[in-house]
Structure 1
Amino acid sequence: MKFFSNQFNKGLHGMFFRALPGCALLVVLFGCSKPPAENLLFISFDTTRADHLSAYGYKIKTSPNIDALAAQGVLFQRAFSHAPSTLPSHASMFTGKLPPDHGVRCNGKFTLPEEQLTLAEILYGNGFETGAVLGAFPLDKRFGLDQGFSFYDDDFRLSQLTLKHQASERVMDKVGFWQGQTYLDFERNAYEVTTLATKWLQKTKGRWFLFVHYFDPHEPYEPPPAWRTLFENQYDAEIAFADRQLGKLLETVNSMPGKTLIVFTADHGQGLGDHGEITHDRYLYDSTQWIPLVFCMKDKIKAGSKIINPVSHIDVMPTILDLLGVPSTEGIQGRSLAKAILAGEDLENKPIYMESLSHKLEKPEGIDVRGLVRDNWKFILTNEEHGGKKTIRKELYDLDSGGGGGGENADLSLKEAGRAAEMDKKLSGWVEKLEHEGAKPNPLKISEETRQKLKSLGYL
């Protein structure tokens, strides 16, 4: 649903009015009570495992600024992504819907349909200035996540900002000059993301919503030289570098007038060799699906709170709207966590759906992986086809058995056959319903340029 440029007239007059019938439209556009006073800073770290952050018990201090946010707000100990890839995960965050229902099933091949109502569109309609600074090409505006943003910075070419700092080794090394490589067309580092985000904030005049996407933890791991010697694991070094730059952004936000709701999460994690997966985008184990989630707002959210109940990305949008006092809309599949955050109310343990279809969508013979989390159990159904041979694998894990959030060392599908059969039936029925009733996909014809950019990031 586009609000800007030449989409404004046809989009606002047509699809937007159809999407929000009757008084619901008036509520979202103009509100019916005193407008909320709080701003919103929404931070997403790409490819960041929860168990590689100090706030989630990691022994190596990778994330002092994220840890501080968690200490000042509420941390969800068991939050899950619905897909191990960037675009579908962010689409779920912004729409409150599962991938089959918003129509974006993998990176690069789909664009978010205009009829999908986004968080940015709702906040823009309620008087917020809406801005986004992106760290990498998978969230380029051609894929539709710019809907509702009046400012959407996805220009990954070598900018004047980088040119002015070309003497800075940490900047130039990250963008690839020191290795004779050029990543300038599809990513930028945390230093530049923070600088651009800060410049936008300094121009705001009223209530604002800023989405900031840090891509540094994504492979290839090339932290600035000064950070390489601080950490044996270069993945950790990338997280730490991004965390440092996030700290600078938070300093700016904290110096600004008014209160700000700060939300921190990751789109997905990283395999790092667990279950034979080095990166992500293939399986649905906790290494890629268990993600950090923190909400922080001074004087409104109790500091140091922790919630153990399973939640997911589709819960983020309705929770933000509730905490900001902004009316929501129909069709959101997620539920607001606001009462649990503000009043400590118990959360119902709702089942969580997840999928990994990138390899199946890339070629007829591939791997289709679906998953279901219910309470402390995860069931994974894998359908794989190679050389005309089809195999089905069913796995069941007790997520509590490993402590914290990872208990996937022992497949209990045979030992707990009854539970596995029950979850298999639930998942299969859910998949059938989602595929039948979900959004009509909006496939995107991929240019050779787009294909090469996605391939360079490991997505094709």
Structure 2
Amino acid sequence: MRTAYVRSVWWLAAGCGAGALADALAVHGAAGLARGFTVAAGGSLPALAATALLLLAPRLRRGGERSLGPFLAGAALAAAPLAIDIGLAPIPAAGAGGAAALAALFLVRGPLPGRRAGAVLPPLWLALAAGGLLQGALDRPAPPLRSFPDRSDPAPAGPDVVLISVDTLRADAVTGPRPPGLELPSFDRLRREGASAPFGLAPSGLTVPSHLTLLTGLDCLEHGVRGNFDRVPAERLDFLAERFRAAGWRTAAVISNGLLARDIGFGDGFEVFDDSEVPRLGPIRRFLRRIEGRSWLSLLLADHSRLERVVALALFPHHRRAGGGAPERGRGARTTELALGLLDELAADPRPFFLFLHYMDPHDPYGTVAPFDGLLSRGLGPPPADFTADPRHGYDGHLAIRLEEDLRSGDPARIAAARPLVERLRLAYLEEVAFVDRQLGRVLDRLDSTGRPFVLLLVGDHGEQFGEHGLMKHGNSLFEELVRVPFLLRGPGVPAGAVWERPPALEDAVPTLLALAGLEQPAGLSGRVLAVGGRLQSPPPRLHLAADDERFSLRREGWKWLAFWSDGALPPVRPWRLHDLAADPAEADPLPPTTAPWPDLAARELVRDRHAGLERAGEEQRFVAGELGYTDGGEED
């Protein structure tokens, strides 16, 4: 009797492996077969164990050879998720698999055809599952470029150049009125020792187009990229790092936003490109998309975070450790440590260097570490039970989206309830800005300690909204809260305490930094030189352009014209609103958008738009953008 039971369980396991193999092939294909099989078979184990207990019933072991029934029962259990692919909901699909397994056990008799060969199946399935674990152990993300190559070209005599981009940093967080308790000594030091403006102008409310303008000196029409889901056309762009490297500078970058990663297209020209602070969760999340809601494992674990932890630990251990498991709170401190290590190495080389440093803070989730956590928000009291900050990461961006829905609901009660929570997020954001100020101070101190001359420019890539116009976060407008960013410049050739009469723009970064380094101006740049030879040069009166996936704006001498793209129709934009920013700084009282000369100005400018024919982003860029909360229309979801 014992031998019959063991044989029955053996064939049950053989069938389970066959069903798991079918499921893995259908969902993951050959490339992901081993990991997919591991999940499909592993998730089936509880159902397999319960069925094995049923086999203890004597009637299921009587009647001669009965290998076919257990085999079919195991296959039905493991392959049950395939029913989801033909339209069944997960619970009914699981029920159907269980019912089919019971039917096979009680109704199917006789031997399995080819049972001699089938007898080796369970060891084969174990080997395949072990292969999935081994694949995870051997699969490591590409390491960052951390070794400087030998150089034989002559070393130039220019200064070191440092460009710092702070993600989601609106101008008034640095240069505007501050709530009691908010001190920003490092930002203030830059303003005192160099040149600044009440605000600079970004070309977008999104990361990729703004950084392309910052790093190429081209406006949003010249490079053609409007959103985070447009492919970066690096092959036709000349990046600032390429220009410095060609002129003899060492070039290095430390970035912490996956949309600026090397394989997205931002690595050109850098000898060292450290993106190790970018979470390596892309392969994990792609795998989860295939199994979540359609596997036994996802049904058993139910909670997404538990499922992610199990899959990451078992099948993607190195991806999980490469930045992805670290808390978002205080992330900038790790970025700073990487930058300081690079600065020590660069300062030991007599050759001048160009360093691009990017901080993800204060992008959501909103929250930081002591002594800044609670610095401004401590007096607000505890938040509602359904509006709490994650201890490791902070207030999730989805809470901001929920508040935006309340603000735009038209319901006075919902709007009134949302406003104090919006203020809570705004103060948590400003606490992150104070934390970034501390990191900036560490970088400035290390640069000063080298005794070498250096030029430093700090900017934001775009701002952030906290209830203005009923909006939260970014990527969903071109209002002033998103296009106004800090612009702080310090170094030899920059007068201390000077203020530009007109707002600089991100496209001015490339020509200005090249000029302060003593390099020639390339032809075709959209920006202008803002300082040279100890004199400040305010940008001339000019047209400033901004764009995202859905919107386009023009700005000149205090007037701002906003439009929507027409999705291939002619004219290419549909006028929306016009604002006199001097009389209407909150952009709350729009004028007729067809007022001359704005439609004609737009038509003349759009002749040079290079967006047409631009490819959409590759899978990795689309995935990173989605993970940061962006949708394929540009807005954060």
Give the TM-score, by structure 2 length.
0.56
> Which residue of structure 1 lines up, in the alignment, with residue 476 of structure 2?
282
> Which residue of structure 2 lines up, in the alignment, with residue 223 of structure 1?
368
- 1:412 pairs with 2:591: yes
> Which residue of structure 1 lines up, in the alignment, with residue 338 of structure 2?
196
- 1:458 pairs with 2:579: no
**Of 516, 536, 548, which residue of structure 2 is paired with 1:356?**
548
How far the C-alpha of 1:377 sits from its partner, in A, is 1.1
Separation (CA, whole Å) in 1 of partners of 2:278 and 2:617:
22
State the SS of the aligned residue for 1:127: coil
How far the C-alpha of 1:313 sits from its partner, in A, is 1.1
Larger radius of gyration: 2
Question: Does the Cα contact within 8 Å between 1:84 and 1:288 map onto a contact in 2?
Answer: yes
Q: Aligned AA for 2:206?
A: S
Question: Does the Cα contact within 8 Å between 2:229 and 2:616 map onto a contact in 1?
Answer: no
Question: Does the Cα contact within 8 Å between 1:78 and 1:308 map onto a contact in 2?
Answer: no
State the SS of the aligned residue for 2:465: coil
Question: Does the Cα contact within 8 Å between 1:217 and 1:238 map onto a contact in 2?
Answer: yes
**Of 608, 619, 636, which residue of structure 2 is paired with 1:434?**
608
Separation (CA, whole Å) in 1 of partners of 2:153 and 2:526:
24
- 1:42 pairs with 2:236: no
Q: Aligned AA for 2:186?
A: N
Q: 1:355 to 1:186 in 2, by over 3 A?
A: farther
> Which residue of structure 2 lines up, in the alignment, with residue 123 of structure 1?
244
Q: Aligned AA for 1:265?
A: V
Question: Does the Cα contact within 8 Å between 2:465 and 2:474 map onto a contact in 1?
Answer: yes
Instruction: Map Cα deviations across residues 301-341 of structure 1 (whole Å, 9 max, x no partner).
Output: 211111131331111101111111112222212121225x8
Q: 1:103 to 1:231 in 2, by over 3 A?
A: same
Q: Aligned AA for 2:228?
A: N
How far the C-alpha of 1:347 sits from its partner, in A, is 3.6
How far the C-alpha of 1:130 sits from its partner, in A, is 0.5
Instruction: Map Cα deviations across residues 48-103 of structure 1 (whole Å, 9 max, x no partner).
Output: 110111x3444453532111101111102342111111111111111111233224
State the SS of the aligned residue for 1:434: coil
How far the C-alpha of 1:212 sits from its partner, in A, is 0.6
Separation (CA, whole Å) in 1 of partners of 2:358 and 2:541:
29
**Of 226, 249, 269, which residue of structure 2 is paired with 1:105?**
226
Q: Aligned AA for 1:257?
A: G
Q: 1:111 to 1:46 in 2, by over 3 A?
A: same
- 1:209 pairs with 2:385: no
Q: 1:220 to 1:123 in 2, by over 3 A?
A: same
Question: Does the Cα contact within 8 Å between 2:171 and 2:200 map onto a contact in 1?
Answer: no
Q: 1:210 to 1:116 in 2, by over 3 A?
A: same
Q: Aligned AA for 1:49?
A: R
Aligned residues: 386
> Which residue of structure 1 lines up, in the alignment, with residue 324 of structure 2?
185
Q: 1:251 to 1:453 in 2, by over 3 A?
A: same
Q: Aligned AA for 2:597?
A: E
Give the TM-score, by structure 1 length.
0.76
Question: Does the Cα contact within 8 Å between 2:256 and 2:278 map onto a contact in 1?
Answer: no
Q: 1:157 to 1:261 in 2, by over 3 A?
A: closer
Separation (CA, whole Å) in 1 of partners of 2:366 and 2:616:
31
- 1:239 pairs with 2:384: no
> Which residue of structure 1 lines up, in the alignment, with residue 217 of structure 2?
96
Separation (CA, whole Å) in 2 of partners of 1:328 and 1:443:
31
How far the C-alpha of 1:384 sits from its partner, in A, is 7.5
Q: Aligned AA for 1:296?
A: R
Separation (CA, whole Å) in 2 of partners of 1:257 and 1:49:
32
Q: 1:37 to 1:157 in 2, by over 3 A?
A: closer
Q: 1:312 to 1:325 in 2, by over 3 A?
A: same
Long gaps (5+) in structure 2: 1-143, 146-151, 281-304, 313-319, 378-426, 568-572, 632-637
1:14-33 to 2 correspondences below 5 Å: none
Separation (CA, whole Å) in 1 of partners of 2:506 and 2:534:
19
> Which residue of structure 2 lines up, in the alignment, with residue 154 of structure 1?
275
Separation (CA, whole Å) in 2 of partners of 1:328 and 1:304:
26
Question: Does the Cα contact within 8 Å between 2:279 and 2:325 map onto a contact in 1?
Answer: no
Question: Does the Cα contact within 8 Å between 1:369 and 1:383 map onto a contact in 2?
Answer: yes
Instruction: Map Cα deviations across residues 420-460 of structure 1 (whole Å, 9 max, x no partner).
Output: 331232123312x123x56852543214xx54432231112
Separation (CA, whole Å) in 2 of partners of 1:313 and 1:143:
20
Instruction: Map Cα deviations across residues 175-227 of structure 1 (whole Å, 9 max, x no partner).
Output: x99xx998943996110111000000101102011111011111111212542
> Which residue of structure 1 lines up, in the alignment, with residue 554 of structure 2?
372
> Which residue of structure 2 lines up, in the alignment, with residue 162 of structure 1?
none
Q: 1:229 to 1:132 in 2, by over 3 A?
A: same
- 1:422 pairs with 2:597: yes
- 1:336 pairs with 2:529: yes
Separation (CA, whole Å) in 1 of partners of 2:192 and 2:253:
26
Q: 1:117 to 1:453 in 2, by over 3 A?
A: closer
Q: 1:95 to 1:452 in 2, by over 3 A?
A: closer
Separation (CA, whole Å) in 2 of partners of 1:438 and 1:52:
32
State the SS of the aligned residue for 1:219: coil
Larger CA deviation: 86-95 vs 302-311: 302-311
- 1:142 pairs with 2:263: yes
Question: Does the Cα contact within 8 Å between 1:310 and 1:349 map onto a contact in 2?
Answer: no
Separation (CA, whole Å) in 2 of partners of 1:381 and 1:147:
33
How far the C-alpha of 1:376 sits from its partner, in A, is 1.0
Q: Aligned AA for 2:333?
A: Y
Between Structure 1 and Structure 2, the one with more strand by share is 1
Separation (CA, whole Å) in 2 of partners of 1:129 and 1:380:
41
Question: Identity, % of aligned pairs?
Answer: 26
Higher relative contact order (Cα pairs below 8 Å, separated by 6+ residues) = 1
Question: Does the Cα contact within 8 Å between 1:311 and 1:352 map onto a contact in 2?
Answer: no
> Which residue of structure 2 lines up, in the alignment, with residue 400 of structure 1?
582
Q: Alpha carbon RMSD of aligned pairs, Å?
A: 3.1
State the SS of the aligned residue for 2:163: strand
Q: 1:293 to 1:157 in 2, by over 3 A?
A: closer
